Structure 1
Amino acid sequence: MSMQGRIGHARGAKTKRALGVQAILEWAFRVEKAQLELPPPKDVSEEGFGFGLEYVLLQRAALGCKVDGGQHKMGSYTHADAEVVAATVAGMPDSLGGIRMAISVAEMARAGLTPDWMPGVVPRCVPVETKSNQHGERATTIVVGTERVLSRGKWRTVEVLACPVTWRPHPEQIASARRGYEDWWQALDWVRDGLIAGRMMREVEVTATMPKVRPWLARKHSAV
């Protein structure tokens, strides 16, 4: 083989970048500015909406055509692999949250964020209300009843006061935040499997790397 032939062969065997699914999502939506092509509502006529991006990608892949992007980036190019990622996310099944979860996954990736599962937060018992004066801050009390007491030889009626308390943050708030994280994790797991099974990306390879499934459990074990 000639030198020119060897160079051409080396160029053709381009090594793929290996990234975990969260890194791939952030690259696609944050760096490449890929946009979701969501299907129209089921009760709206499809006329005028055209084909979804996922359909276009599949058709072009079948024909062996290169996917061109850039329609959302004002003339700049959106990487073809990023368009594949966006199309995969747009196909989020209803069992995992459908369109709403697809938008959430894309927006979290675009912002480079992980859902807030309230790390280190412990519910604390605190007064429902406090008041401040020149003597400082004090818990507000309410009258919950009356009692008859003997004071200096006389019976007197006195008010029984109590300080209403609550838990902040409420345990349900923490549980809700962690359910939201788990739903997001399941969505990423589905996207990862879809990208691996689809085998449509040309320059990026999806690894098995995933965010921790329940990071609050890991923190609890490490504290023991």
Structure 2
Amino acid sequence: MSFHKQIGRARGTRVKRALGVQAALEWAFRVEKAQLELPLPRNVTEESFGFGLEYVLLQRAALGCKIDGGQHKIGGYTHEDAEVIAATVAGVPDSLGGKRMAIRIAELARAGLTPDWMPSAVTRCVPLEVKRNQHGERATTIVVGTERIVTRGKWRTVELLACPVTFRPHPQQIEAARRAYDEWLQALGWIRDGLIAGGMLRDIDVTAAMPRARPWEVRPSGRG
């Protein structure tokens, strides 16, 4: 049964569907095709601190006057709650990433994805370059010096070889991916709190549920 049909049957009794903030975002952007294209309020520039809940409330009031049809979804109806969620996402403050974060949140929700925090990533020391031929693979070496040695009673000059190495994935790459996950999670918390406190949704009940915080630190419990 489609979500629209469930909502339609529930309107008489105002039964709401409980969703965590990530599920609500995926419903709004992936299912309802909500967009972030909202006009700037007066006297607010591109460098402002987001729209704020006051602006979202104004948008909600406007939506309440025309709830029979969404304005963004091509070829169909965009649920008003989805538009409210999109308006809230558009209001992510600059302190949490602003418009860039809002776009990222919408893109991830539309794709049904969570930011890649590089699970199971382990930094390894590997050769900087590997040569391949019919005999297999071998690490590339470079000459780093020479040494005089005696072999069979004669002095000879031999080259000192070293294998340049690197670390993959680089620790900074892993750190950056996990920092981006943390920032995304903080922005989701702001959106969740705003939707709950604002009480603007008619058919969705946003719960306190959140994606796991710092999942790379969660260790599986041992067997008893």
Scaled to the shorter chain, the TM-score interval is: 0.7 to 0.9
2:89 corresponds in structure 1 to 89
Unaligned runs of 5+ in 2: 1-9, 48-54
**Is 1:77 aligned with 2:58?**
no
SS in structure 2 opposite 1:12?
Answer: coil
Unaligned runs of 5+ in 1: 1-9, 45-52
Could you tell me how far apart the structure 1 residues matched to 2:170 and 2:27 are? 36
Question: Contact 1:17–1:203 at 8 Å: present in 2 too?
Answer: yes
Q: Residue 201 of structure 2 aligns to which amino acid in structure 1?
A: M
Could you tell me how far apart the structure 2 residues matched to 1:11 and 1:130 are? 65
Q: Residue 157 of structure 2 aligns to which amino acid in structure 1?
A: T
2:177 corresponds in structure 1 to 177
Query: Of residues 30, 42, 45 in structure 2, which corresponds to 1:42?
Result: 45
Quick check: which has more Rg, 1 or 2? Answer: 1
Aligned length: 204
Could you tell me how far apart the structure 2 residues matched to 1:216 and 1:208 are? 21
SS in structure 1 opposite 2:218?
Answer: helix
Could you tell me how far apart the structure 1 residues matched to 2:210 and 2:76 are? 31
- Give 1:130-149 correspondences, 5 Å limit: 130-149=130-149
Could you tell me how far apart the structure 2 residues matched to 1:22 and 1:207 are? 10
**Deviation for aligned residue 1:202:** 0.4
Question: Contact 1:28–1:85 at 8 Å: present in 2 too?
Answer: yes
Question: Contact 2:60–2:84 at 8 Å: present in 1 too?
Answer: no
**Deviation for aligned residue 1:14:** 2.3
Question: Contact 2:57–2:200 at 8 Å: present in 1 too?
Answer: no
Q: Residue 42 of structure 1 aligns to which amino acid in structure 2?
A: T
SS in structure 1 opposite 2:197?
Answer: helix
Q: C-alpha root-mean-square deviation of aligned residues, in Å? A: 2.3
SS in structure 2 opposite 1:126?
Answer: strand
Query: Of residues 57, 60, 67 in structure 1, which corresponds to 2:59?
Result: 57
TM-score (norm 1): 0.84
Could you tell me how far apart the structure 1 residues matched to 2:204 and 2:169 are? 42
SS in structure 1 opposite 2:159?
Answer: strand
Could you tell me how far apart the structure 2 residues matched to 1:187 and 1:223 are? 33
Could you tell me how far apart the structure 2 residues matched to 1:76 and 1:11 are? 20
Could you tell me how far apart the structure 1 residues matched to 2:14 and 2:151 are? 93
Question: Contact 1:131–1:138 at 8 Å: present in 2 too?
Answer: yes
